[in-house]
C-alpha cells in the first residue's frame, strides 16, 4: 500500500514527536495537537495507517511507527526540508516563508527531483531552521541541543535551530542575527522569566524569555557534527 500525502503528513509528524521526546511510543492526543486536528480525525487516520502496515498500537503505551512507516516518514521529512533549503538558497525566499510552501510542494516532489535539489544546494545537513535533514539512505542525525533559557551563563554557543514556524518570531530572530550556525554568548538572565542578555557578532541584545525558549543552542562541536 502506498501512503497518500495526508498519510505521509501524519507519519512525518509522528516521527518528529517520537524523535524529540526520545520515545518510540506517542499518544494520539500529542499527534492531534501537533497537527491541529480533532481527536476523531486522528483516530480515523491511525486506523488507516494501521491497516496499511505503517503503525502499530500497544494498549496503555500508544502508537509507534513500523519500519515501513518510519521509511515513509523519513522520505517525507527529507523532501520537506530539502524543499525549504532550495526555496531559501536558490529562490531567495526568507526562512519565515518556506514552511507552508514546503508543505504544499513536498507531496508532489518526486524522489528524483529531491535528489537533484540536494545536489544543486550542496547536500545541506540542516534545513533553514536548523532541523537535521535525513540522509538519502534513510537515517536521521541525532541532535544534542537545549533551550537558550536552560543554557548555563557565561558560555559561547552555536545556535542549533529555531523551534518555531511562526513568521513573526522568525523575522525577529533574523533581525537579531540568531540563525542556525551563528555563535552567541549568553551574558546574563533576569530572574522570574525576565529577558536574557546575549552577544551576537560582538553586538549586545536582549531577548525575551518566551522567544528565547524557541532558540535551541549547542556546542560548536555538536553543531558541526551533524
Name the residue ranges covered by the structural domains of the chain: 5-69, 146-224
Q: Give the whole-number percent of the chain exceeding pLDDT 90.
A: 93
**Rg of the chain taking only CA atoms, in angstroms:** 19
The CATH code that applies to domain 146-224 is: 2.30.30.90
Q: Give the whole-number percent of the chain exceeding pLDDT 70.
A: 100
Average pLDDT, integer, range 45-61: 94
Give the pLDDT of residue 60: 87
Q: Rounded to an integer, what distance in angstroms lies between the CA atom of residue 61 and that of residue 63? A: 7
Is 85's pLDDT higher than 90? Answer: yes
Q: Rounded to an integer, what distance in angstroms lies between the CA atom of residue 76 and that of residue 93? A: 21
Q: Rounded to an integer, what distance in angstroms lies between the CA atom of residue 3 and that of residue 26? A: 20
The answer to whether domain 5-69 and domain 146-224 are alike in fold is no
Is 174's pLDDT higher than 90? Answer: yes
Q: Rounded to an integer, what distance in angstroms lies between the CA atom of residue 34 and that of residue 11? A: 12
Give the pLDDT of residue 91: 97
Give the pLDDT of residue 107: 81
- CATH fold of 5-69 reads Arc Repressor Mutant, subunit A (1.10.10)
Q: Strand, coil or helix: what is 65? A: strand
| Residues 184-217 pLDDT 10s | 999 999 999 999 999 998 899 999 999 999 999 9
Give the pLDDT of residue 126: 98
Is 106's pLDDT higher than 90? Answer: no
C-alpha distances out from residue 53 to 19, 66, 71, Å: 20, 7, 12
Q: Rounded to an integer, what distance in angstroms lies between the CA atom of residue 152 and that of residue 69? A: 38
Q: Give the pLDDT band (50/70/90) at residue 63.
A: very high
In contact, 159 and 193? CB cutoff 8 Å:
no
Is 152's pLDDT higher than 80? Answer: yes
Would you list the DSSP string of 153-189? TT-EEEEEEE----HHHHHHHHHHT--TT-EEEEEEE
Give the pLDDT of residue 182: 97
Q: Rounded to an integer, what distance in angstroms lies between the CA atom of residue 167 and that of residue 218? A: 23
Is 2's pLDDT higher than 90? Answer: no
Would you list the DSSP string of 106-161? HTT--HHHHHHHHHHTT--SB-TTSPBPPPTTS--PPP--EEGGGSPTT-EEEEEE
Amino acid at each position: 500500500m502506498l501512503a497518500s500525502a495526508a498519510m505521509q503528513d501524519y507519519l512525518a509528524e509522528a516521527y518528529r514527536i517520537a524523535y524529540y521526546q526520545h520515545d518510540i511510543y506517542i499518544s494520539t492526543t500529542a499527534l492531534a495537537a501537533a497537527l491541529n486536528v480533532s481527536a476523531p480525525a486522528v483516530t480515523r487516520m491511525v486506523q488507516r495507517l494501521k491497516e496499511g502496515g505503517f503503525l502499530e498500537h500497544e494498549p496503555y503505551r500508544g502508537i509507534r511507527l513500523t519500519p515501513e512507516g518510519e521509511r515513509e516518514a523519513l522520505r517525507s521529512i527529507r523532501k520537506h526540508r530539502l524543499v525549504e533549503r532550495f526555496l531559501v538558497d536558490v529562490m531567495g525566499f526568507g526562512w519565515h516563508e518556506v514552511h507552508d510552501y514546503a508543505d504544499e510542494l513536498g507531496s508532489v516532489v518526486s524522489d528524483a527531483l529531491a535528489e537533484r535539489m540536494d545536489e544543486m544546494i550542496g547536500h545541506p545537513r540542516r534545513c533553514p531552521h536548523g532541523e537535521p535533514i535525513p540522509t538519502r539512505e534513510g537515517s536521521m542525525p541525532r541532535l544534542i541541543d537545549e533551550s537558550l533559557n536552560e543554557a548555563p551563563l557565561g558560555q559561547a554557543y552555536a545556535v542549533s535551530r529555531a523551534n518555531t514556524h511562526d513568521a513573526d518570531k522568525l523575522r525577529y530572530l533574523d533581525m537579531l542575527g540568531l540563525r542556525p550556525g551563528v555563535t552567541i554568548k549568553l551574558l546574563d538572565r533576569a530572574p522570574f522569566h525576565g529577558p536574557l542578555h546575549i552577544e551576537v557578532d560582538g553586538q549586545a541584545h536582549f531577548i525575551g524569555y518566551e522567544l528565547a525558549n524557541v532558540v535551541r543552542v549547542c556546542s560548536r562541536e555538536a553543531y558541526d557534527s551533524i
